[in-house]
Amino acid sequence: MDFNFFDQETLNCPYEFYETLQEQAPVYHLPDTNIYMVSRHADIKKISKDTKTFSNNFNHLLKGPEPAPEVTEIYNRAWQPVDTLVTADPPKHKTYRTLVNKVFNLKRVNTMAEYMEKIVHELIDGFIEKGECDFVKEFTTPLPVYVIADQLGVPRKDLKEFKEWSDSFARRLSQLATPEEQIEDAENIVAFQFYFADMIKKRSEEPKDDMITDLVNTVINDAETGEQRKLSMEELQNLLQQLMVAGNETTTSAITSGMVSLINNPQQMQAIQADPGKIANAVEEILRMESPSAGLWRVVTEDTELHGVKIPKESLVMLRYHAANHDRAVFENPTDIDIERSNASDHIAFGQGIHFCPGAMLARKEMVIAFTALFERLKDFEIVEEKSDLNFWPNIVLRGRKGLYLSFKKK
């Protein structure tokens, strides 16, 4: 009762709250809601395997409250949402997941490395002479957008619009948009759909080596009907939206908050700069510490019970990945960053089970390439406090800082 999960203070620094939950209320019923928060590492792993009782069919939560008629009218001009991947349960989920696994293969991610390095260096070129930068605006935000756009096959000339559309998806998810912004977001989302409908048509007529071509042309095995078929326009649109939205804010937040942690811990910063071989494990530690997908929903399909707490059918369970990644039963001194932590990769920042993040390989590679280039070319990083806003956005699902402004020296 000492904590209010929704307070800015708790959002910024939830560690005492998490520890209290893990010790005293591992299944915590948030007052005046139908939400049950699960915080222990072992419990989240167990629940993630039980997709029958804990369903991912939370599409209604993503849509938010009923929009105004003029907003609905805009959405009705394009394709309606269907459940693929993150909001789908077995057997439906498998149909799409098999396809995405095929499309997101290691070979494609590896061939992306050179392109990612090029992007990272171009972004650094853009601010290196200034000795300071708006790190979020000039580096961590554009990086994942450029990378996913390129994976999908979006030409560079269209990137500005692509970013605006992506922001609209994120703002729609945050459910904090004003009525005017809701109209703007609907227009952007519909524009995205028509843009991709055109690309889908072009790729089916003239295939290229990109993800859209793979998604458009691969014949899927529909796990529900047993039918062999290509994806419908609704399914394609939904998959493309998820691929576009899921990786942007999360990767931005991981690199931003990782940088803050390193700057605030000079010994760790020194160690990573002295030995780039430590970057890969440091990335795991940053993912553990920051957990940009801080928590995700499950819908309870039948009355159930965990640690003596009765969870009624249709309740919402929040799997608090950020808490699990600070569980003292698994991680020693969990609030300290230790880039050499031997079990850093036991984190569950990418989830668990059938919904485990298909973009994990890509995100990890992107982070390693970003930190490698930053430490290769720059040193003496400092946070410019008066231009930074290190508070976290008020969002229960995503965990990201509002702003980070850095000063540095050229190496």
The residue ranges that bind ligand HEM (CB under 6 A) are 56, 85-86, 97, 148, 242-243, 246-247, 250-251, 254, 292-293, 296, 321, 349-351, 355, 357-359, 362-363
- Closest approach, Cβ 183 to ligand HEM, in A, equals 27
- Closest approach, Cβ 97 to ligand HEM, in A, equals 5
Q: Is 401 helix (H, G, I), strand (E, B) or coil?
A: strand
Residue 325 tokens read as: 């990644």
Query: Which residue's CB is nearer to ligand HEM, number 81 or number 351?
Result: 351
Query: Which residue's CB is nearer to ligand HEM, number 341 or number 347?
Result: 347
Query: Which residue's CB is nearer to ligand HEM, number 22 or number 242?
Result: 242
- Closest approach, Cβ 386 to ligand HEM, in A, equals 29
Query: Which residue's CB is nearer to ligand HEM, number 78 or number 152?
Result: 152
Do β-strands 316-319 and 35-38 pair in parallel, antiparallel, or remain unpaired? parallel
Whether the CA torsion 124, 127, 131, 135 is positive or negative: it is negative
Residue 392 tokens read as: 């976290």
- Closest approach, Cβ 179 to ligand HEM, in A, equals 30
Query: Which residue's CB is nearer to ligand HEM, number 89 or number 134?
Result: 89
Residue 146 tokens read as: 């450029």
Closest residue (Cβ) to ligand HEM? 359
Query: Which residue's CB is nearer to ligand HEM, number 88 or number 177?
Result: 88
- Closest approach, Cβ 111 to ligand HEM, in A, equals 15
The Cβ of residue 7 has, within 10 Å, a number of other Cβ atoms equal to 12
Query: Which residue's CB is nearer to ligand HEM, number 78 or number 85?
Result: 85
Query: Which residue's CB is nearer to ligand HEM, number 289 or number 378?
Result: 289
Which residue blocks in 104-228 are alpha helix, DSSP H? Answer: 106-125, 135, 142-152, 159-174, 179-205, 211-217
Buried b (16+ CB within 10 A) or exposed e, 210-229: bbbbbbbeeebeebeeeeee
Tallying the residues shown for the chain, one arrives at 411
Reply yes or no: is the peptide bond before residue 91 cis, omega within 30 of 0: yes
d(CA 33, CA 55): 19
d(CA 208, CA 218): 13
H/E run at residue 305 = strand 304-306
- Closest approach, Cβ 247 to ligand HEM, in A, equals 3
Query: Which residue's CB is nearer to ligand HEM, number 194 or number 356?
Result: 356
- Closest approach, Cβ 14 to ligand HEM, in A, equals 17
- Closest approach, Cβ 45 to ligand HEM, in A, equals 11
Query: Which residue's CB is nearer to ligand HEM, number 116 or number 357?
Result: 357
d(CA 90, CA 113): 33
Query: Which residue's CB is nearer to ligand HEM, number 247 or number 334?
Result: 247
Q: DSSP secondary structure string, 147-182? A: HHHHHHT--GGGHHHHHHHHHHHHHHHHT---HHHH
Residue type at position 101: N
- Closest approach, Cβ 337 to ligand HEM, in A, equals 16
Give 307-329 as a 3 state SS string: CCEEECCCCEEEECHHHHCCCCC
What's the Cα-to-Cα distance from 145 to each of 138, 149, 154, 250, rounded to whole Å? 12, 6, 10, 11
Question: Are 48 and 296 a contacting pair, CB within 8 Å?
Answer: no
- Closest approach, Cβ 74 to ligand HEM, in A, equals 25
Question: Are 35 and 27 a contacting pair, CB within 8 Å?
Answer: no
- Closest approach, Cβ 358 to ligand HEM, in A, equals 5
Q: Write down the number of H helices and E strands in the chain.
A: 18, 14
